[in-house]
Chains A and B, each alone.
Chain A
Amino acid sequence: MSVLVFAETQNNKIKKSSFEPIGYGRKLADLMGVECQAIIVGTAENASDAGLYGAQSVIHVNHGASVNFDCINYSKIICSVAKEKGAKVIVFSHSSSGKGLAAYVATKLSAGIVSGVNSLPTVEGQVLKVSKSVFSGKASANFSIDSEIKVITLAGNTIKPDSGGTPATIEQMEIVLDAPKMNVLSTKRQEGTVPLPEAELVVSAGRGMKDPANWNIIEDLAKTIGATTACSRPVADTGWRPHHEHVGQTGVAIRPNLYIAIGISGAIQHLAGVNNSKTIVVINKDPEAPFFKAADYGVLGDLFDVVPRLTEALKKLES
């Protein structure tokens, strides 16, 4: 019996963001008194690192192969491993590929599923109790899952991954796959920055910036602390910033450790995507800006003065 964690790969390595669900899977496995196993599909040079973060063994399927992401084949792999290993709970990242795949796998295994779980579960006999954020962050819901096999996807920044474990033993498995029903024609990624849904530090700016040419002060600030940049919806809609930076109810929902909001009023639809951030800093010149009510730290002032000053102060700290 096991808790099986699906570890996503990119550029032939386990993704950094997959170490968190592995650590979470281990904590859950300990609660249940079973083993934590990680499953990796395709090439992963650092497969044994899954052990550092808590996996007690790694099942490496079609090692060395390049397997395009496709729910049919991935779910076939995960379901057959889950059956063979007697998986009780399967944990996925709450990521672009993890969400859809988890739903697919849960259906194939007649498993109950809760997506976007954001705290450690409790185990009561056959029942797993988990919670997640609902109504776009305006509440949280507590669920019971009572199926034989259970599936959850884990929201990012729920626990802090700890790399104090030992490298895991790797079991290689070959699973024959059907020809994929879709072909990847091209892939484009922004290089060099952490994608927004995975970012721990986010610097975000809104219409208060007045002009896209002014974004250099935002980028300087972000670069100083290694943060990812984000923006409000009107800023993306007018083409000042790329769409993938749009956070909020109709954009990306994020929960970084630090969210710095600059020249953003804090409309309810904006807050819906960012209100789960651990610490929120708001820089705004309007004392009535609703965002101050959702903030931990507020700076009332002109962003064009405050932001460069903050960047300087952070640089002093770094040096």
Chain B
Amino acid sequence: MKLLVCISKTPDTTAKISFVENNTAFNTDGVQYIMNPYDEWYALVRAIELKEAAGGTVTVINVGPASNDIVIRKALAIGADDAVRIDTDPTSSMDTASQIANYAKDQNFDIIFTGKETIDYNGAEVAGMIAAMLDLPFVSFASKLDQDGDSFKVTRDIEGGIEEIGIQGPFVVSAAKGLAEQRIPNMRGIMMAKRKPMNIIPPVTVENHVTVDDYTLPVEKAGVKMIDPENMDELVRLLKEEAKVI
């Protein structure tokens, strides 16, 4: 089985978010970066498990500058066989998806994995775009994926429930919680990662139609109103008359 896992780099979950240049750019000062949790914990690990069970290769791909090599090395340490980095700082999800689709189009991958979304832009766009560019079916938010003869059984999250579907490769799938259990790279994996191949590929030009004008930080809450725990009638009154939510 030939598997591709798209990985991205995001600010750590506890990162303090602020902006510079008149609120037009993200302030990277002092921000720790991690591999996007959905990519690492679920997409990558499930791909590695499938390969361990049935043989094949797991390639990871990242669209980004050389400073992203650190998360790519981590993916190799967890168990991917080789890596591709498209050498550009993507300007939009369409840019990212186009770079990945352009690389994948003649590689005959059986499954292309992404995480459900990134935890910075929370767009959940890239996987559907890659599928559309390659004319492949797309299964979103998979919480279970098993090989079943020459096809696959995938459980996907739908609003308020789950749906089990049968599908044949090739397809694109985005990974949600439950698809796999997080793996911590061990010493041997980290050593081996240093010798695994990493291909650096120049980007293609992509027309961009979406630009960020600026960012705003949320308005601070006015401050919490403390309610006497003995007096829940007062809380109910405030929810009804002041907040108007019940």
Contacts and interface: CB of A to CB of B under 8 A. Distances in A.
Contacts of B38: 250
B122 A296 contact: no
B232 A100 contact: no
Interface in A152-200: 181-190, 193-198
A279 B245 CA distance: 8
B215 A272 contact: no
B209 interface: yes
Nearest to B10: A135
B215 A139 contact: yes
A182 B215 contact: no
A136 B245 CA distance: 24
A145 B214 CA distance: 13
A142 B137 CA distance: 31
Given A138-B17, A184-B165, A306-B232, A243 B177 contact: yes
Contacts of A142: 212-216
Given A182-B166, A296-B221, A313-B232, A134 B121 contact: yes
Counting chain B CB atoms within 10 Å of each CB, the highest count among A111, A113, A129 belongs to A113
Given A95-B159, A100-B138, A300 B226 contact: yes
Nearest to B128: A103
A310 B166 contact: no
Contacts of A309: 229-230, 232
Counting chain A CB atoms within 10 Å of each CB, the highest count among B38, B123, B139, B238 belongs to B123
Given A181-B137, A300-B229, A115 B153 contact: no
A143 interface: yes
A96 B227 contact: no
Interface stretch (B59-67, B74-82, B167-175, B184-192): B167-175
Contact of A187 (B139, B161, B177): B161
Contacts of A197: 159
B30 interface: no
A161 B138 CA distance: 31
A295 B222 CA distance: 9
Given A99-B125, A251-B177, A134 B215 contact: yes
Contacts of B137: 70-72, 181-182
A245 B225 CA distance: 27
Given A71-B138, A96-B158, A143 B128 contact: no
B120 interface: yes
A4 B246 CA distance: 33
Given A10-B159, A107-B97, 12 more contacts: A104-B138, A112-B92, A143-B210, A147-B209, A181-B137, A181-B168, A188-B163, A244-B161, A279-B239, A299-B227, A313-B233, A317-B236
Top 3 A-B residue pairs of the complex, sorted by shortest distance between their CB atoms: A195-B160, A112-B209, A103-B128
Interface of A: 10, 15, 17, 69-72, 75, 95-97, 99-108, 110-116, 129, 131, 133-147, 150, 181-190, 193-198, 201, 225, 243-244, 246, 249-251, 253, 257-258, 268-269, 272, 275, 278-279, 281-282, 292-302, 305-306, 309-310, 312-314, 316-317
22 contacts: A102-B125, A103-B97, A112-B208, A129-B213, A135-B120, A139-B19, A144-B210, A147-B209, A184-B165, A196-B160, A243-B177, A249-B13, A249-B119, A251-B177, A268-B13, A272-B119, A279-B243, A297-B227, A309-B232, A310-B232, A313-B233, A317-B240
